[in-house]
Amino acid sequence: MRVNQLHPWPTSAEEAEAIQERLRLHVELTGPTEFTLVAGLDVHYHGDDDVAAAVVVLSTTAPAPAPASSVTDDRAGSVAGRVAGGLVVVEQVVVRGKARFPYVPGLFAFRELPALVEALERLTVTPDLLVCDGYGLAHPRGFGLACHLGVLTGLPAIGVGKTHFVGTHDTPAPARGAWTPIDLNGSTVGRALRTQQDVKPVYVSQGHRITLDTACAEVLRLSPYHRLPEPIRKADHLARHGDL
C-alpha cells in the first residue's frame, strides 16, 4: 500500500515534539464502524537498535466460533492461514532495520515508525484498520503511535497498550467487556477495557478516523480468546520468530 512520505526526521526531542504538535491537527475522531481487513502491527527488538517490524493482515469476515472446550488447541495458530476467532491471514510482512531514535516516553513512535512504514509499504493489500501496539490519543500531547500511523496512512487506527501510561482510571469490573474511562486533564482519552474475565485490562485509545466506542468494540471482537487482539498477537509472533 501507499504511505505518505515521512516528514523530515527529527534529530532532537524538541523537533520530534514539534512534529507531533503539527500532525495532531490532522487526527479525526470519527469514521467507519465496520472493518474487514484488519492489520496488526508490532516491533521486536534485538539488542539496542536492531528491530524487526511485522504487519499481519487478517480477514475478519468469518464469524468467531464459540470458545467452547477448545481453548487449548489453537493457541499456536493452526491450519494454513487460520487463526483463532475465525480470522484468516491474508498477508504478512517482516522488515528488519535499525531504531533511529532513542526510547523516550512520549516519543516512542519515532523508534518504530520507519520500520513499520516500510512494512506497510510492502503490503499488496490495503487494510481497513490498523491495530497498533501502543497508545493513540491517550498520550501527553494527544499523538501516540496509533495516531501517527493513522495520519501517515490515512487509515482508521486504534492504539492498544498493555500497561498504564497517562491519565487516571478506576479498575473495571472483572467481566469481559467491562471498561472504565481514562481521564487526562478532565477529558476522556481512552478506556481500560477488560478483554477477558479476570485478566488485566488493556488500554484502548483512538488513533485516527474511529470513535472510542467503535475502537473498543473492535478490540473486543478481535480478542475472542486472549488478552490481546489476535492481529497484534500474530504480528508479535511474526516479529520475533517469523524471519530467523
Partner DNA sequence: GCGACAG
Partner DNA sequence: ATCTTGTCGC
Q: What are residue 208's DSSP bridge partners? A: 157
Nearer to DNA, 29 or 88 (CB): 29
Helix/strand/coil percentages in the chain, nearest 5:
25, 25, 50
**Residue 139 makes contact with DNA by CB under 7 A:** yes
Residue from the set 28, 45, 177, 188 that interacts with DNA by CB under 7 A: 45
**Residue 240 makes contact with DNA by CB under 7 A:** yes
Q: Please check if 73 is assigned to a binding site.
A: no
Residue from the set 94, 108, 206, 218 that interacts with DNA by CB under 7 A: 108
Count H helices and E strands in the chain, helices first: 5, 9
Cα(107)–Cα(4) distance, rounded to whole angstroms? 20
**Residue 43 makes contact with DNA by CB under 7 A:** yes
Cα(73)–Cα(160) distance, rounded to whole angstroms? 26
Q: Which stretch binds DNA (CB under 7 A): 59-67, 87-95, 105-113, 209-217?
A: 105-113
SS3 label, residue 104: coil
Burial 59-93 (b: 16+ CB within 10 A, else e): bbeeebeeeeeeeeeeeeeeeeeebbbbbebbbbb
- Considering the complex, what minimum distance in angstroms separates the CB of residue 238 from DNA? 12
**Residue 106 makes contact with DNA by CB under 7 A:** yes
Binding mask 140-179 for DNA (x = CB under 7 A): ----xxx------------x-xxxxx--------------
**Residue 101 makes contact with DNA by CB under 7 A:** no
Could you tell me the CA-to-CA distances from 17 to 100, 115, 144, 207 in Å, in that order? 15, 20, 11, 17
Cα(56)–Cα(53) distance, rounded to whole angstroms? 10
Interacting positions 49-88 with DNA (CB under 7 A): 71-72
Backbone angles phi, psi at 180, to 5 degrees: -135, 150
- Considering the complex, what minimum distance in angstroms separates the CB of residue 169 from DNA? 12
How many residues in the shown chain lie near DNA by CB under 7 A?
Answer: 26
Q: Please check if 42 is assigned to a binding site.
A: yes
Question: Which residues of this protein are in contact with DNA, per CB under 7 A?
Answer: 42-45, 71-72, 103, 105-109, 133-135, 139, 144-146, 159, 161-165, 240
Binding site per annotation, positions: 42, 133
